[in-house]
Amino acid sequence: MKLLKARAYFKNITEISPEFLKENGISGLILDIDNTLIGHNVPLPDEKTTNHLRELENAGIKLCVVSNNTYDRVKSFTEKIGVEFFVANALKPRRKGYIEASESMKLALSEIGAAGDQLFTDVLGANLAGCFSIYTKPLHTGGEGFFIALKRIFENPFLPKEELL
Ligand SMILES: [Mg+2]
């Protein structure tokens, strides 16, 4: 079950500092959308999150949104938050989306961190692709629908205790 273990755990995407990424040899960061950048049914990230993305970019970290969502939604979201690269219909945890992201950012998979809130899609996918996997606590876990709620139950044994996040 090593593949379900993230290399790093954070409460929120805004806690991932440019220094942390650089210390780990990371020059690009893959971002999940739902429950990582925005909560459920919220159209855009809050100001703190948006500012943090700018801080990462200013420090020379390339950003790429990789989502299983549709092309139209991912494209318009990425434009609104000012991120240049994106991959839609990524089919995470399959490697395809991560490879496309690495080609867009012109970085090796090993130089890329991938952050997301779901172990079975984001963390597993990052590990399978050879990226540095980063788990971020879901922003909001209510109203996600039956299948995601069910997946969360199965995630629990593989997650660190709340106080360690
Ligand atoms: Mg998500």
pLDDT at site 155: 87
Distance 35 CA to ligand 1 centre (A): 5
CB 132, CB 113: distance < 8 Å: yes
Task: Quote the Cα angle for 9-15-19, to 5°.
Answer: 95
Distance 58 CA to ligand 1 centre (A): 25
Cα gap 126→98, rounded to integer Å? 7
What single string gives the DSSP state of each residue in 88-147? -S--TTSSHHHHHHHHHHT--GGGEEEEES-IIIIIHHHHHHT-EEEEE--S--TTS-HH
Cα gap 18→14, rounded to integer Å? 10
CB 114, CB 136: distance < 8 Å: no
Distance 116 CA to ligand 1 centre (A): 6
Which of 3.20.20.120, 3.30.420.280, 3.40.718.10, 3.40.50.1000 would CATH assign to domain 7-158?
Answer: 3.40.50.1000
Distance 2 CA to ligand 1 centre (A): 20
Series of mean pLDDT values for 10-residue runs along the chain (165 residues): 92 97 98 93 92 98 97 96 97 97 98 96 98 94 74 85 70
Residues, CB-to-ion distance under 5 Å, ligand 1: 32, 34-35, 117
Query: Alpha-carbon dihedral of residues 20, 22, 25, 27, nearest 10 degrees?
Result: 120
pLDDT at site 37: 97
